[in-house]
A and B are shown apart, each in its own frame.
Chain A
Amino acid sequence: MPISNNIVTTRPAFDLPTRYLSYWLGITVEHAKRLRYNVADLAGADATKEKLYQALVGLDPLFFLGGGHGEVDVFTGDDRQVLLNSENAYWMAERLTYLFSCLTGQKLSKDIIGAGGEAFLGYNEEFGFVVSPPYIPATDPKARGFMEAGNAIALSLLRGYSVGDAYNAGVKKFNDWIAYWEKSTDPLAPLILTWLESDRDSLVAWGNSTARLSVEKREEHPTGLWPAFLAAGGVITGLVLATL
């Protein structure tokens, strides 16, 4: 039985698309840590099949979160090394899997569910997104909506919501950004709208829609220190309150 408090992520960063995905999934990883999950974060060159297998065996996570290039029947890591395919889909048995990648919702998703996967979230078409110079993932305003929508799905799961809720959270975030860009006069707005709508409509969820990572809803603590401070009977002064 996978451990609900454990998570494994892969987020290679060897080309422009994966650098964007890796940066934004890194934000999700930080949220996961603040939500008190144990995370094996296989970033950059660590996103290999060998390290993924080791992490899955070592942590037996309930949730696998992967970002990277995908095809209909393949999900990849660093330098497009194959991490998951029909031959090893059983690695995701009993787990919740969310792949932030192209196309894996078409067949790999069904291989995973067929091999006993609890649930799968991902995209059944090409995930396209818009970027702009100087191509800095953290500050690129054109890419932000795509990345936030993709992250909303993982964040919803991490906060204790169900797979069905996570799907709806993703669709809502796409729709929020569509509404934003519909009002824009930016010359790239038509392109952004085309791909936000396409990505939203290619989001799929298979398996147990009521599955969740946590029986209780989780809330973040900014530093992780305040709960310990309070549990130890710490006294909150007016000055401390002002900084919260």
Chain B
Amino acid sequence: MVTAEQKALAVARLKAWIARLPPSMRDMPVLVLLGRTLTPNQMLAEAEAETQIGSIIINRELKMAGSLLGR
């Protein structure tokens, strides 16, 4: 279970990454996860809704955020 603050951090990281993407890539399927192929905007929507797949994405974003802080 993630806290509201952790979810907000993960969603903010996703939004910042998507903002840096060329617009044509934001709806391009790129992430294969649990049998689905998600676009960046779908990843964000799943994370915001905290679906099963969204929770996995949030956890990985938080892990990367922690990993980057540790470097």
Stretch from A154-162, A164-172, A184-192, A213-221 that touches the partner: A184-192
Please indicate which of the listed interface residues A126, A130, A195 has the most CB atoms of chain B within 10 Å of its own CB.
A126
Complexed CA–CA distance, A142 and B37 (Å) = 14
Please indicate which of the listed interface residues B17, B31, B67 has the most CB atoms of chain A within 10 Å of its own CB.
B31
Known: A16-B37, A187-B25. A142 touches B64 (CB 8 A): no
A17 near B: Cβ within 8 Å?
yes
Instruction: State whether A131 touches B67 (Cβ < 8 A).
Output: no
Known: A126-B56, A193-B64. A20 touches B25 (CB 8 A): no
Contacts of B28 in A (CB 8 A): 132-133
A128 near B: Cβ within 8 Å?
yes
Contacts of A130 in B (CB 8 A): 30-32
**CB contact list, A123-157 vs B, under 8 A:** 126, 128-133, 135, 142
Known: A17-B35, A126-B33. A197 touches B64 (CB 8 A): yes
The contact string, 1 if C-beta is below 8 Å from chain B, for chain A 103-135, is 000000000000000000000001011111101
Instruction: State whether A20 touches B61 (Cβ < 8 A).
Output: no
Known: A126-B34, A190-B17, A194-B64. A131 touches B29 (CB 8 A): yes
Instruction: State whether A195 touches B60 (Cβ < 8 A).
Output: yes
Interface residues on A, range: 20 to 34
Instruction: State whether A17 touches B32 (Cβ < 8 A).
Output: yes
Instruction: State whether A16 touches B32 (Cβ < 8 A).
Output: yes
Complexed CA–CA distance, A198 and B17 (Å) = 18
Complexed CA–CA distance, A87 and B67 (Å) = 39
Instruction: State whether A132 touches B34 (Cβ < 8 A).
Output: no
Contacts of A102 in B (CB 8 A): 34
In the complex, the chain A residue whose C-beta lies closest to that of B65 is A194
A8 → B minimal CB distance (Å):
24
B12 near A: Cβ within 8 Å?
no
In the complex, the chain B residue whose C-beta lies closest to that of A69 is B35
Known: A194-B61, A198-B60. A129 touches B35 (CB 8 A): no
Contacts of B40 in A (CB 8 A): 191
B2 → A minimal CB distance (Å):
16
Complex partner residue of A191 from B29, B30, B35, CB under 8 angstroms: B30
Complexed CA–CA distance, A69 and B63 (Å) = 24
B40 → A minimal CB distance (Å):
8
Contacts of B32 in A (CB 8 A): 16-17, 20, 128-131
Instruction: State whether A191 touches B34 (Cβ < 8 A).
Output: no
A192 → B minimal CB distance (Å):
9
Please indicate which of the listed interface residues A69, A129, A132, A187 has the most CB atoms of chain B within 10 Å of its own CB.
A187
Q: 10 interchain pairs (CB within 8 A)?
A: A126-B34, A126-B56, A128-B60, A130-B30, A132-B28, A142-B30, A188-B25, A191-B31, A194-B63, A195-B60
